[in-house]
Chains A and B, each alone.
Chain A
Amino acid sequence: DGGITQSPKYLFRKEGQNVTLSCEQNLNHDAMYWYRQDPGQGLRLIYYSQIVNDFQKGDIAEGYSVSREKKESFPLTVTSAQKNPTAFYLCASSPSAAGGTDNYGYTFGSGTRLTVV
């Protein structure tokens, strides 16, 4: 089945530690996105990538890093510089580099819940 796989489902981070969240899609979509969701809140854009080997900062990129070496993979690293990383992280993709303006909806993964311990 085509879709987006996020792993792990739950992740615990110690203070000062970097952690990497995995996002893999087999939809052959060009664009991929990372969002952060805090309890009872909407989604805020962290980073996005419209094509391979290129990515752009979203609204809350500080303390995060990404790479897009392969079309199907868009991992997110939460660095020690992110002081409040506890949140639900969602990865999404869309068919073309035009993203939401290509009049297709995004496909979302099932999320990773990150907790600082």
Chain B
Amino acid sequence: SQQGEEDPQALSIQEGENATMNCSYKTSINNLQWYRQNSGRGLVHLILIRSNEREKHSGRLRVTLDTSKKSSSLLITASRAADTASYFCATALSPTGKLIFGQGTTLQVKP
């Protein structure tokens, strides 16, 4: 079964609004990563948060990690139509370093 489960599965918002996606996982992790995938394309790495970090920012992205609840959230502020994509969380497992991906959240930002 997948390590990460994302919520919601789909999200539709207006341009300028904030988008929040959540990810839950099952086992202890080394870090948690978020990726974006445009339709029919490969994944692009957005941001990584280590297991000893609680919050991280990168531009309009804010990621939080709660290891006690085994959950993370990705916030995209002031969304743009170009943010329309699928977003995946992935957890890195020791010692193999394998990344295990969630099912993804499909975000649609309407202009």
Contact = CB atoms under 8 A, between A and B. Distances in A.
A97 B97 contact: yes
A90 B99 contact: no
A67 B39 CA distance: 29
Contacts of B4: 42
Contact size class for A?
35 or more
A101 B42 contact: no
A101 B91 CA distance: 9
Contact of B96 (A6, A56, A105, A106): A56
A103 B31 contact: yes
Contact of B43 (A31, A100, A108): A108
Contacts of A104: 48
A113 B40 CA distance: 9
Contact of A58 (B50, B90, B98): B98
A7 to B, nearest CB: 13
Given A98-B97, A101-B95, A106 B45 contact: yes
Contact of A100 (B2, B90, B104): B90
A94 B97 contact: yes
Nearest to B88: A42
Nearest first, the 9 closest Cβ-Cβ pairs linking A and B are A99-B97, A100-B92, A105-B45, A108-B42, A101-B30, A100-B99, A43-B101, A42-B103, A42-B101
Interface of B: 2, 4, 30-31, 33, 35, 40-45, 48, 50, 88, 90-104
Interface of A: 4, 6, 31, 33, 35, 41-45, 48, 50, 56, 58, 88, 90, 92, 94, 96-111, 113
